[in-house]
């Protein structure tokens, strides 16, 4: 596992910082090529001025819908995890975005992903982080008045 956090510039004076264990959890949920079903969850962290720090994430829960090319995060456990983080962090950590996996080497968001994210962005006041993990790389983007690609990380770097 990588020891250093993932750091990606998100604006002139802002960075996205992702704890190594979050990267490891996401990468560990990318299924193998055979019998692949998508996984996903929410990203939990905090907004610090122009920076966003991701410290935790949820993983698939029993009521989520998981198919080869679909993940529908409908289990209430994700929201509950965000609420728990909010309460136990002294009201700093909460929902900051979404991650899911794709059966692709180098994932790109689908039109359904884009519609889902647009709906989330409409309701959010702060920027949201979106992450899609594939077999060979992980895609990172930020959504705030539109979607912007941030970075693509090689899977090898991410899992050390």
The contact set with Zn ion (CB under 5 A) reads 110, 113
CB of 109 to Zn ion, least distance (A): 6
Residue of 38, 104, 122, 126 marked catalytic: 38
Closer to Zn ion by Cβ: residue 89 or 110: 110
Tokens (6 digits) for 103:
């059966």
Closer to Zn ion by Cβ: residue 95 or 130: 130
CB of 86 to Zn ion, least distance (A): 26
Question: Residue length, the chain?
Answer: 160
Concerning whether 104 is annotated as a catalytic residue, the answer is: no
**150-154 LR contacts (CB < 8 Å, sep 24+):** 150/8, 150/9, 150/10, 150/16, 151/8, 152/106, 153/6, 153/23
Nearest CA to 59 out of 39, 33, 80 is that of: 39
Residue, CB closest to Zn ion: 113
Closer to Zn ion by Cβ: residue 56 or 113: 113
List the catalytic residues.
Answer: 38
């Amino acid at each position: 596992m990588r020891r250093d956090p993932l750091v990606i510039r998100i604006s002139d004076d802002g960075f996205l910082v992702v704890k190594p264990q979050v990267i490891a959890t996401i990468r560990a949920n990318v299924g193998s090529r055979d019998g692949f079903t998508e996984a996903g969850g929410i990203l939990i962290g905090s907004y610090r001025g122009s920076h966003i720090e991701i410290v935790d994430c949820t993983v698939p829960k029993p009521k989520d819908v998981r198919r080869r090319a679909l993940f529908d995060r409908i289990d209430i456990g994700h929201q509950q995890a965000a609420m728990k983080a909010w309460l136990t962090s002294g009201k700093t950590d909460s929902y900051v975005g979404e991650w899911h996996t794709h059966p692709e080497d180098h994932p790109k968001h689908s039109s359904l992903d884009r519609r889902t994210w647009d709906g989330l962005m409409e309701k959010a006041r702060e920027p949201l982080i979106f992450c899609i993990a594939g077999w060979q790389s992980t895609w990172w983007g930020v959504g705030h008045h539109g979607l912007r690609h941030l970075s693509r990380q090689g899977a090898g770097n991410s899992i050390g």
